[in-house]
Amino acid sequence: MESIINAAFLGLVEGLTEFIPVSSTGHLIIVSEFLKLDHTKSDSFNIIIQLGAILAVVYLYRERFYDFFNWKKIQELPSLIKTKNPDRLNLIHIFVAIMPILMIGFVSRKWIKTYLFNTDVVVASLILVGILMIIVEKFKPMPTVHSLDKLTYKEALIIGLGQCFALIPGVSRSGATMLTGMLIKIDVKTSADFSFLISVPVIAAATIYEFIKVYGQFTSADLWQLLVGFGVSFIVAIMGIKGFLIVLKRLSITPFAIYRIFFGLFYYFFSR
């Protein structure tokens, strides 16, 4: 990393884009390319500062997380495993939803980082998924699930499988999970809330793994930059999530789809 300013800027981009369906990874790859940052360090830096963004989710959804880890509720989990239609969202939903991406991501992580972490893949994903978002928004079935507490384990698993497409840079994890949810008749707000909740263990696992792997590559100066990026990401993500939910309620996902397409085309034509 070249400077504290670059770190703060990357934290800003991460916080703004992590939880809206425009692909934070795609934006960070493009920004890192634009700033001409060292790819080895910048890719790892981008993954690590995501921790700030997921802590923003923990803060905003702290009542849900408190409920998840309430000892009395944890003791009830064995009896809920056999229940097809539980009466509330619980840790089993989260576990079922995150296992596919954790397994596939772990097996394919090296291949993905080697062959897919580039601007060509990001641009193609931004445009194609943006078009798909418009199509799904227009032709989606009428939602029948309007609350997190009405989700079934089967629906959580299907959303988790859809989340795996987000391993491709530029697709967007929140975009993949929200589109999947909308296609199985879950309303867009509930899909977004569930997407935020399952992001915490997924991104935390990726962040911790990456940090352990590359810790020795960072100097003391780099660690200060990590802290700056982390802090900016946390603060901006809180504002970003609140703003996103307001836009989602009023306009749904169409504005983000249009942004993806135009941003992808803009970068493609002006980076050549």
The upper half-sphere exposure of residue 86, i.e. CA atoms within 13 Å in the direction of its Cβ, equals 22
The upper half-sphere exposure of residue 72, i.e. CA atoms within 13 Å in the direction of its Cβ, equals 2
198: pLDDT strictly greater than 60 = yes
Q: What is the pLDDT of residues 46-71, one digit of tens each?
A: 777 888 999 999 999 999 999 999 99
The span from the first CA to the last CA of the chain, in angstroms, equals 25
Query: pLDDT over 70 for what percent of the chain?
Result: 95
What is the arithmetic mean of pLDDT over 12-39?
Answer: 84
What is the arithmetic mean of pLDDT over 19-32?
Answer: 86
The tally of domains found in the chain comes to 1
Tell me which residue range forms the domain holding 219.
Answer: 4-270
Comparing 171 with 219, the larger pLDDT belongs to 171
* Weakest-pLDDT range from 22-26, 39-43, 66-70, 93-97: 39-43
What DSSP string runs through 141-206?
Answer: PPP-B-SGGG--HHHHHHHHHHHGGGGSTTS-HHHHHHHHHHHTTB-HHHHHHHHHHHHHHHHHHH
Residue in this structure with the two tokens 């991501």, named with its chain if needed:
105
Alpha carbons 56 and 43: distance in angstroms, whole number: 21
Q: Which burial class, exposed, middle or buried, applies to 66 when counting CB atoms under 10 A from its CB (0-12, 13-18, 19+)?
A: exposed
What is the arithmetic mean of pLDDT over 32-53?
Answer: 74
What is the arithmetic mean of pLDDT over 112-141?
Answer: 94
What is the arithmetic mean of pLDDT over 23-40?
Answer: 77
Tokens encoding 140: 């989606």
pLDDT at 246: 93
Comparing 35 with 104, the larger pLDDT belongs to 104
Contact between 52 and 15 under an 8 Å Cβ cutoff? The reply is yes
pLDDT at 272: 66
What is the arithmetic mean of pLDDT over 136-165?
Answer: 96
What is the arithmetic mean of pLDDT over 238-243?
Answer: 96
Looking at residue 216, the DSSP 8-state letter turns out to be: G
Contact between 164 and 101 under an 8 Å Cβ cutoff? The reply is yes
41: pLDDT strictly greater than 70 = no
Q: Give pTM, 2 decimals.
A: 0.89
pLDDT at 29: 81
Q: Which amino acid is at 119?
A: T
Residue 65 to residues 128, 201, 223, Cα–Cα distance (Å): 34, 12, 29
255: pLDDT strictly greater than 90 = yes
Q: Which burial class, exposed, middle or buried, applies to 156 when counting CB atoms under 10 A from its CB (0-12, 13-18, 19+)?
A: buried
Residue in this structure with the two tokens 């009830």, named with its chain if needed:
76
- pLDDT-based confidence at 122, cuts 50/70/90? very high
40: pLDDT strictly greater than 70 = no
> How would you classify residue 172: left for phi > 0, otherwise alpha for psi between -120 and 50, otherwise beta?
left
- pLDDT-based confidence at 1, cuts 50/70/90? very low
Q: What is the mean pLDDT of the chain?
A: 90
What DSSP string runs through 72-92?
Answer: HHHHHHHHHHT-SS-SS--HH
Alpha carbons 246 and 240: distance in angstroms, whole number: 10
Looking at residue 70, the DSSP 8-state letter turns out to be: -
271: pLDDT strictly greater than 70 = yes
pLDDT at 27: 87
- pLDDT-based confidence at 92, cuts 50/70/90? very high
The number of residues in the chain equals: 272
* Weakest-pLDDT range from 33-47, 77-91, 97-111, 239-253: 33-47
